[in-house]
Amino acid sequence: MDWPEGTEPQVEIETDVPVDDEACARVVTWLPWDSGFRGAGLAVGDLIVGHQTVMYGPAERAAELRIGEARFGEWLRSEGLRPGKPFTVHVLRNGAPLRIEGTVGAMRRYTNANGQRTLGTNGPACTGKDGFNSPWESWYGEFVATARNALAGWDQVVGISSRRLLADVDSFAARVEFLQIQHPGAFSRAALHDLSEMRRRADGEVRELRPSDVSYRELGAIRAEAVTRSADAAFAAFLDEMAPVLRTDLPAAPNSFDDDVSSLIGAMVRLPPLGRRQTLYETQRSWCWSGSNGGGYLIDRASATMELLHVATRAYVEMVDPTLRESSVTFIGVIQPEPALVVDVDRQITVAGLRVETVAALVSSDTVADHRFFADLRADRRTEAFAGLTATAAGIARPPLADTSTPAEVLLAAFDALKRGDMATWLSCYATWNVTTYFERDGSYQWVDLGWSTISERSGASDWDRARQRLHTDVFGVEVARVGPVRVVYDAAQSNGDREAVIIGPRIVEEVTARVNHIGYFEGEYRTFSASLLHRRWRLQRVDHGPWRIIDPQSL
């Protein structure tokens, strides 16, 4: 193209700050369809670390001289570069350096024979619709916005659903096909290329998973069957033991206000299975209720024995069935002297009933038939949270985790522990320190807090459960895609030397950033994908060349 004298030069590469500001780079976010770098090998998602003879560092970042920044245009003019002249960018792609040469461009305006603005030579009129719902210019704006997300990749766009994105990409197919027929040219070819590349990236990469790779999904059912057998045996033994004192002649719904219940005090009762519908909620507590017509038996869900049942349920979910949500509970308990008056305002239910202190519970899954566990809640007889727990824990094969494990091996150990239901190993994959900055009026300094807990058993319970559920629903595998270079994030020699925390603390902390791929199953194939609450970026640290551990409080 011939450019008039004095045309303002532009390097038609759109950039932004990358998620990780590696080497003071700028990440490519878009290449206009008529850019001088179209077809040159540059791609959205590439990291530009320099241009021409300028390599990016702190000085270039401070001066805003990098491509896409405020003063880059001044630099371009000062170099006397004109549209059409060669221009070189230095790129990092997956850690590998590349040198790519394109050309300097400028603002362009395309019109048709009627003087209407068009999208390229022989392209459609910007304000035209050609029978579609929206003008071409606004359609292409939506196309570019979707392309930015699809082509940037999952490193730059966090939390995106790649399968939803794939559906969005396919919605542009009809108009791109129309362009090929009615408006052939550079613009239509670029749109077709972009659509194809968007589909490829959003669709993920094919993976081959062996049956052994997904066999962990059967562990829950296998363990649940074993625990169910233990539950049935323990429950039967418990009923035999309690047979002499277990009352079977008690009224179904005694009213502690209207009825004489003195003969029921101290009796042992077996209640029918109770579920969510049999839960009453007050302002500050909740109750399990067996009864009707304002009477019955009530169990305080915040009592000490019920807390033991909550512990048993958490242990069951942790080791056996991460998908357990709805359950029915058969309680055996002792009627207490003090009655209870419960008012559930939302359901407009008032119950004057007998308070029951639980001594045992049989919990049955409402979603998977014949899956249940039994918890003996008596202090003098309780040897494990639920019957069969000890055998279940002993049968867990622990993933290897050593002080010499690489960052990738630590991540894989954490993911493997999630699959196997091994919470102890999973927790040990996380750091017990934190590099902290202490701010003071006369100067700030860094130190290493060795009392930190990235994830604890208590704080990580929800993350653990969610991750285990995902590994049994849409996630079939996790792989480490790559691990970045080691960088120093704390050096005691560079910190404030007169601080006690610095003098007696660790000398050096190193960090790496890793990327992982999550693998799903779509249309008969295993493919990499991204989705909400799936974390691709993971950071790990080590202290004084010790073991690598995860520092991000995330599970999957």
Q: Of 217, 215, 175, 222, give the one whose Cα is nearest residue 195.
A: 175
- Per-domain boundaries in the chain: 14-203, 217-394, 407-550
86-93/286-292 β-pairing? unpaired
Q: Lowest-pLDDT range, 32-46, 95-109, 437-451, 513-527?
A: 437-451
Q: With bands split at pLDDT 50, 70 and 90, how would you rate the model's confidence at 497?
A: low
- The DSSP call for residue 92 is E
Q: What percent of the chain has pLDDT over 90?
A: 67
pLDDT for residue 1:
59
* Residue pointed to by tokens 């490519």: 28
CATH 2.30.42.10 is held by the domain 14-203: yes
Please provide the CATH number assigned to the domain covering 407-550.
3.10.450
Is the CB of residue 371 less than 8 Å from the CB of residue 398? Answer: no
Q: Is 44 helix (H, G, I), strand (E, B) or coil?
A: coil
> Which residues have a Cβ under 8 Å from the Cβ of 414 and sit 6 or more positions away?
425, 426, 429, 430, 550
Query: In this predicted model, what pLDDT tens digit does every residue of 543-552 receive, in sequence order?
Result: 999 999 999 9
124 pLDDT above the threshold of 60 = yes
The DSSP secondary structure of 204-246, one letter per residue, reads --EE---GGGSGGGGHHHHHHHHHHHHHHHHHHHHHHHHTTTE
The pLDDT of residue 186 is 94
Classify 33 as helix, strand or coil: coil
CA 132, chain centre distance (Å): 38
Supply the pLDDT for residue 460. 84
Quick: pLDDT tens for 142-199.
999 999 989 887 777 777 899 999 999 999 999 999 999 999 999 999 999 999 999 9
Q: What percentage of the chain reaches a pLDDT higher than 70?
A: 96
pLDDT at residue 29 tops 70: yes
Q: Rounded distance, CA 332 to CA 305, Å?
A: 12
Find residue 117's DSSP bridge partners.
111
Residue with tokens 């900055």: 437
Please check the confidence at residue 523 and state whether its pLDDT lies above 60. yes
Token pair recorded at residue 67: 């491509």
Predicted confidence (pLDDT) at residue 495 exceeds the cutoff of 80:
no
CA distance 43 to 31: 8
pLDDT for the residue 7: 77
Residue carrying the six token digits 């392309």 = 147
Q: What is the pLDDT of residue 6?
A: 63
Query: Whole-number mean pLDDT of the chain?
Result: 91
pLDDT tops 90 at residue 256: no
- Tokens encoding 429: 């994959």
Q: Please state which of the ranges 13-22, 175-184, 379-388 shows the lowest mean pLDDT.
A: 13-22
Helix (H, G, I), strand (E, B) or coil at 100: strand
Residue 533 in tokens: 């609450």
How does DSSP assign 123-143, residue by residue? PPBTT--TTSSS-HHHHHHHH
Q: Stretch 370-390: mean pLDDT, rounded?
A: 92
Q: How much is the average pLDDT of 335-346?
A: 91
pLDDT at 303: 94
Least confident of 62-71, 89-98, 139-148, 497-506: 497-506
Backbone dihedral angles phi then psi of residue 104, each to the nearest 5 degrees: -70, 140
333 CA to centre of own chain: 41
Provide the pLDDT confidence category of residue 498 given band limits of 50, 70 and 90: low
Is residue 511 scored above 70 in pLDDT? Answer: yes
Q: What is the mean pLDDT of residues 65-69?
A: 91
The Cα 472–Cα 202 span in angstroms is 23
Looking at per-residue pLDDT, the higher value among 441 and 309 belongs to: 309
